Amino acid sequence: MNLLPGVDLPDVARRRGLLAMLALTSGLSACSAMESAPDVAYILLDGTAGRTSALRGQVVLVSFWATSCAPCVKAMPALVATHQQFAARGLQTLAVAMQYDPPAVVSQFAQARALPFGVVIDNTGAVARAFGDVRVTPTTFVIDRRGAIAQRSVGESSAPRLQALLARLLAQA
């Protein structure tokens, strides 16, 4: 099946293109339990340093976003509500601002909306690279207690589906 009429693509390129389109259109992928979350250092808006490996044993929601990303800004209230719903059960949330997002603008955004979770300033792009060279926002990862990526979502995600996954992961010992 050629997705680009009039363009003759080799078989392998067609398959790769189809897989890429399926991945982008689905927006959601369950990840193998063998795929571990990267161990990466980060700095929060308040200057606190952390490492993702220090969050092992907890369920972690990592959301890559930008203040210039309309779907990210639109989804932020749902991210806040999800965090508030599950924080008492142990959910850790990191909102990673993309490299191109000016820290002062990120700080103003976070303060104006009283974001109740850690906001990471990724001014070098190291966090995005560690998570598979994230370039599309929003991109969200759910990491289970063992440090495995349980879900990767590109684009706007379904809050009820995300909340159901978080509830399941947080219920596991």
Q: What is the mean pLDDT of residues 98-124?
A: 97
Closest Cα partner for 69 from 60, 79, 84? 79
Residues 4, 64, single domain; the answer is: no
Say yes or no to pLDDT of 108 above 60: yes
What residues make up the domain containing 36? 31-171
Residues 100, 129, single domain; the answer is: yes
Residues 79, 157, single domain; the answer is: yes
Residues 91, 145, single domain; the answer is: yes
Residues 24, 57, single domain; the answer is: no
Structural domain count of the chain: 2
Q: How far is CA 102 from CA 52, 107, 109, 163, in A?
A: 23, 9, 11, 30
> Can you give the pLDDT at residue 157?
83
Share of the chain above pLDDT 70, in %: 80
Residues 149, 72, single domain; the answer is: yes
The single residue listed with the structure tokens 């995300």 is: 162
Residues 19, 46, single domain; the answer is: no
Residues 23, 82, single domain; the answer is: no
CATH of the domain at 155: 3.40.30.10
- Of 2-6, 81-85, 135-139, give the lowest mean pLDDT range: 2-6
Say yes or no to pLDDT of 28 above 70: no
Closest Cα partner for 95 from 76, 74, 70? 76
**CA atoms 166, 47, 72, 100: torsion sign:** negative
Residues 7, 47, single domain; the answer is: no
Mean pLDDT of the chain: 85
Largest CA distance in the chain: 56
Q: What is the DSSP string of 140-161?
A: EEEE-TTSBEEEEEESS--HHH
Coil, strand or helix at 71: helix
Residues 70, 13, single domain; the answer is: no
Q: What is the mean pLDDT of residues 66-89?
A: 97
Residues 82, 152, single domain; the answer is: yes
Residues 83, 99, single domain; the answer is: yes
